[in-house]
Structure 1
Amino acid sequence: MTFDFTKIRKSSSSFELRTWDPEGVIFYGDTNPKDDWFVLGLRDGRSEIQLHNQMAQLTVGAGPRLDDGRWHQLVPALDGCLRRGNWLDPQAQTSGSAPTSSLRSCTVQSQPGTFFPPGTRAEFNLQDIPQPHAEPWAFSLDLGLQLAAGSGPLLALGTPENPSQLSLHLQDQKVVLSSGSGPELELPLVLGLRLRLKLAVSGVVLSQGSEKEILALPASDLASLLKLWVQPLGRLFLGAPPGEASASFCLDGLWAQGQKLDMDRALGRSQDIWTHSCPQGPNNGTDTAH
């Protein structure tokens, strides 16, 4: 593709990239190929920017490897707040962003973590996260809950058509584990202790600290659950299913098979999730996020 700079009316671009190639040029642009040019490419599987003009000459490489044959978005949103800005010449400003209810208040004190306001959700493809052990079959999820307010869905395993084959709900400071419309069990919630959900062929174990509960599943339900990992539509859902309200909660981490998951690499998520910060009080900042 070739673009005429004199006709451009938009200053940003975005796209998704999928490749097995560890090195090459993705995008190149110039106004003068000798002394004013820009390159976006891959080197050793990681993104690299080269910029050369009268103001700057630099080469920067960063980020995870992208040459894994999967789709990657190159413009992840930044979870942060700005203040005390002095932006160029105010007289030259022709437009501005009007405050909306979808933006969180930057006056809220925050700490590291991931915050899900009510009604928000994220989902991971099960094939994109660490896989179960084979012999014996076992899979574990660990949640570090810092804050929890209200009642509603917390986590589920399923498919887009059947999103709650196995689910965790927050209810009156308890965690409720259930399997579809079948059996369920409860565990008192203690904030600050990791909550672990472990699946095995013998059943499902929910534990926190020294407290442990075991949910025995019918053979047919267990077999259906284990099949989620061998089909492309198997999903890990966090927060509210589409069209449903949920509790608000904050995680200081989410681990699959002991490896921490990056919320920026989710298959999809609500824009209102704070991906790298949490309000310091359960009732602060729960209006919405950015």
Structure 2
Amino acid sequence: MRLTPVLSCAAPLILLAAVRLSNTISLSPQEANQFLSRHRRANQVFEETKQGHLERECVEERCSKEEAREVFENDPETDYFWPKYVACVDKFGDSEKKKQDLITCVHNIPDQCSPSPCNPSGSVRCEDKKGDFLCHCFTGWTGARCEEDVDECDTRNGGCDHECNNTMGSYRCSCHHGYTLSGRHLCNDVDECEDPAVCGTAECLNTEGSFDCLCEPGFVYDNETKSCVDVDECESGVCADECLNVPGSFRCFCDGRQGMKLAQDLRSCKPITACISPSLKRNSRALYLGRMFSGVPVVRLRFRRKFQTGFSAEFDFRTYDSEGVIFFAGGHLNSSWIVLAMNDGKLELQLKYAAVSRVTSSGAVVNDGQWRKISVEEQGRSLVIKIDREAVMKIAVNGDLFTLKKGMHELNLTVGGVPFKEDGLVNKLNPRLDGCMKDWRWLTGEDSSIQETIQSNENMQCFSTENPGAFFTGSGFAFFNTSFSDSLNLSVHLSLRATSGIGVLFALIYQDKVPLSLSLADYHPGTDEWRDFVLVTSGDEIVASSPSPLCDGDAHVIEVTISANHTLLLIDGQPGRSHSATLPLELLPRSSTFIGGLPDVPLVSTLVSASYSGCMEVSVNGQPLDLDQATYKHNDIRSHSCPLLDSHQ
């Protein structure tokens, strides 16, 4: 047996054994390069020495298994080599021509890394071992052949702030929407608000990982238009009655014409209550002459006599009204008749006998609210009119008031109006009369049927005590088909004693709009205050206002002066506050005037819709308004008589 020196190979083999810590070694690409450059020379010497011995022992000559062991100096490599060596000899050993193939076949047997069994994507290199091999893996790969990916995300999420995404042989960190990756692992918030267009016209607020587009209360952000659009709260039924949507908010309205007002939650409605109780005690024996605004008589009587009888009438009378019909007596329009009326505060007698017509007025002013006894009596061919039993007029007549009909002498008598149109009067006047009559005697007799009717109907009764001024019960309104304003100037003067802190005092209406309203209110929507106010408004906007507790039983004066674009409000001489809203002056001359209430206009067209309750006298442009001259007046409104007001309830 030949002895082959192999001691020079021992040191490299020991070195390789020390390097092999496991079946695989994982290295980063940088570490792999260092490793290869550090061991390449020693391995090369070892391999060249082994190949030289192998060629001399087993290629140039045929060797036995024992001789092969002397080459490898270990059993694992020998056991691996020997069967493959025998296969090479059997295949190429008999032919000189195939000697080179035999050499190649034998030389390749000991190298277990040719071809490399390691995964080329996951391995640095293949290391040939004694009957074995060792795959050196890149970081991120594992397994005997570096064929298995290491899932770095399983350990502390790969060190990623947000999301770890495993890849073959590596991993990648990613961030949630609204963040950006800093380095390999950290996620930093993106400030989207740095882009001025991100929220359009809305306010941008950066948040962690996102952003919000903010709008004022009552608005909502529209992603399509990138703007704040108004929320129509009225669609959700937030109000108990009417709702008006306004930019960024809403307003609730309650129908004051039905006796309701807005509650303090600004959504529900509650009844309007009086703050002062008027003394509404009535005199069941006193007939109220102004009950019917139409001017038709409140009483109609017919007297029949078998014999010719002279006319006589006597009654107690009280009024603050200056004009109107007290009674009519006679036949019909084209026959003989007389009318006792008020004109300019004095008694006036109009008469017509056949073709003769006369008008006579005399005596003291009697519209001072005092009871007076009035009498009219035929004396021969004269009519004598007395006040408190003193004659003030004596008028010669030629004819009879009674009309002979079917053998009977008939006379028609009406109280509070005439039985024909007012243009049939000798002296044209307004027949409506706010006055009281009691203790009457017609033709020297008392008619009990009238008294019974009055006692059963309060609307026909006068108040026991009265003061001058119109009385509003909180129902209806008086309407004048004019604005009293044919220019840009308007002045309104009100003297009032209110029994409720809510109600329309004066308003100008144009179609369904309310270009001007003067009213009492208990809430100021501009300042969000709950207290008594006087408001001058145009539509639902406040032009002028004043905090004024007028519902105290005392008389107060309200003045509004409009001159061009300036509106001045005075309460008992003290100026109110002007607001930024202005009046639509072009509508004022075309408007109609409403006193004490509003017609059926939309609730949202003005802030106050309740009818006024209390006493009031109105002057426009220096001229007093006589409600008897109105185009329309609710029958419950008394034009010239107001009951006394009690103290606070």
User: Is this a same-fold pair by TM over 0.5?
Assistant: yes
Deviation, 1:122, is 0.6
Offset, 1:141: 0.4
Residues 143-202 of structure 1 show CA distances to partners (whole Å, capped at 9, x for unaligned) of 01134324222221222522x222122235532222211235333145434210111222
Cα distance in 2, alignment partners of residues 158 and 217 from structure 1: 21
CA contact (8 A) 1:149 1:282 kept: no
The 5-angstrom pairing of residues 1-290 of structure 1 reads 29-30=334-335, 49-52=350-353, 59-60=358-359, 76-88=431-443, 89=445, 97=453, 99-100=456-457, 102-107=459-464, 109-126=465-482, 129=484, 131=485, 137-162=488-513, 164-172=514-522, 173-183=532-542, 185-190=545-550, 191-216=554-579, 218=581, 222=583, 224-229=584-589, 231=590, 234-242=591-599, 245-251=610-616, 253-281=617-645
Please give the secondary structure, in 2, of the residue aligned with 1:149: coil
The 8 Å contact of residues 508 and 517 in structure 2, kept in 1 or not, is answered as yes
Q: Tell me how far apart the structure 1 counterparts of residues 301 and 441 of structure 2 sit (CA, whole Å).
A: 21
CA contact (8 A) 1:177 1:186 kept: no
Corresponding residue SS for 1:228? helix
In the TM superposition, residue 120 of structure 1 has moved relative to its aligned partner by 2.6
Q: Which moved more, 1:262-271 or 1:204-213?
A: 204-213
| Contact 1:79–1:274 (8 Å) recurs in 2 | yes
CA contact (8 A) 2:515 2:587 kept: no
Q: Deviations over 1:238-262 (max 9, x none)?
A: 11223664231212x3111112222
Instruction: Give the letter aligned to residue 175 of structure 1.
Output: V
> Is the partner of 1:85 in helix, strand or coil?
strand
- Higher RCO (Cα < 8 Å, 6 or more apart): 1
* Distance change >3 Å, CA 11–CA 167, structure 1 → 2: same
* AA aligned opposite 2:548: P
Q: Which amino acid aligns with 1:278?
A: C
Distance 1:161 1:97, change over 3 A: farther
Q: Which amino acid aligns with 1:241?
A: L
Which residue number in structure 2 is paired with residue 24 of structure 1? none
Query: Is residue 203–residue 214 contact of structure 1 (8 Å, CA) maintained in 2?
Result: no
* Paired letter, 2:474: P
Separation in structure 1 between the aligned mates of residue 447 and residue 577 of structure 2, nearest angstrom:
65
1:81 match: secondary structure: strand
1:188–1:37 Cα change, 3 Å: closer
Mapped to 2, the partners of 1:138 and 1:95 lie a distance apart of: 50
With the length of structure 2 as denominator, give the TM-score of the two structures: 0.30
| Unpaired segments ≥5 residues, structure 1 | 1-9, 13-26, 31-35, 40-46, 63-72, 284-290
The answer to whether the Cα contact below 8 Å between 1:204 and 1:216 also exists between their aligned partners in 2 is no
Query: Aligned in 2, Cα 1:255/1:49: closer, same or farther, shift over 3 Å?
Result: same
**Matched residue count:** 222
Structure 1 residues 61 and 204, CA gap change in structure 2 (3 angstroms)? farther
- 2:614 partner amino acid: F
- Residues 113-140 of structure 1, C-alpha deviations (whole Å, 9 max, x = no match): 111111131122335x3x45x5xx4211
The 1-side partners of 2:333 and 2:438 are apart by 34
| Amino acid corresponding to residue 594 of structure 2 in structure 1 | F
